[in-house]
Amino acid sequence: MDRGTDHLVILAAALAATLLLPMPGGGVAAPPHDLHIVYGDLAVEGALIAGRLRFFKDDLERALGPMVGATVLDLEPGPESDALVMRYLREHLRIDVDGTMLEPELLQSGQDELDREPVWWVIVQFPAPGPLDAFRVRNTLLFELFGDQRNIMKFMRFPDERQKTFYFAPGEYEQVVRL
């Protein structure tokens, strides 16, 4: 297991333990705290990184509100939401290849549900100047809002389908990806 996978096992165990612990004195536990997490599934092929990022919609809306001077924001599919989300991504998800920052391009966006929770997703691509053997990822998505924010990103290289999963936590914002 690599360092990123070790963190996933620890996160899963901690979450399971939190949800299963009885209250002292046999009382009823309060509802579990909201999970603050962003998921990314990205493919790496040749000179391109592309894939889907998924946010809990209310968390993303909370992050985007200050960018437009709003305390309440309701994302709806369309060019205005896409522009706002991409502005946020450019500031909080950076991929660097040999000193060159890759510029994200939006391919598609929308909303769906994850365990009955509204989710906002984007499909993005990061074109690189040449074939990708290694790159640095700086992921600070939603860390400005939540002290317990965690981000998980899986990268799979094609055509050999070698994959690695990385875990981002407060103070651990950067990872070097070598596939």
Q: What is the pLDDT of residue 108?
A: 97
pTM: 0.80
Q: SS3 sequence, the chain? A: CCHHHHHHHHHHHHHHHHHHCCCHHHCCCCCCCCCCEEEEEEEEECCEEEEEEEEEHHHHHHHHHHHHCCCCCCCCCCHHHHHHHHHHHHHHEEEEECCEECCCEEEEEEEEEECCEEEEEEEEEEECCCCCCEEEEEECCCCCCCCCCEEEEEEEECCCCEEEEEEEECCECEEEEEC
Q: What is the pLDDT of residue 23?
A: 45
What are the 10-residue block averages of pLDDT along the chain, 179 residues in total? 48 43 47 78 98 96 94 91 97 97 98 88 97 97 95 97 97 96
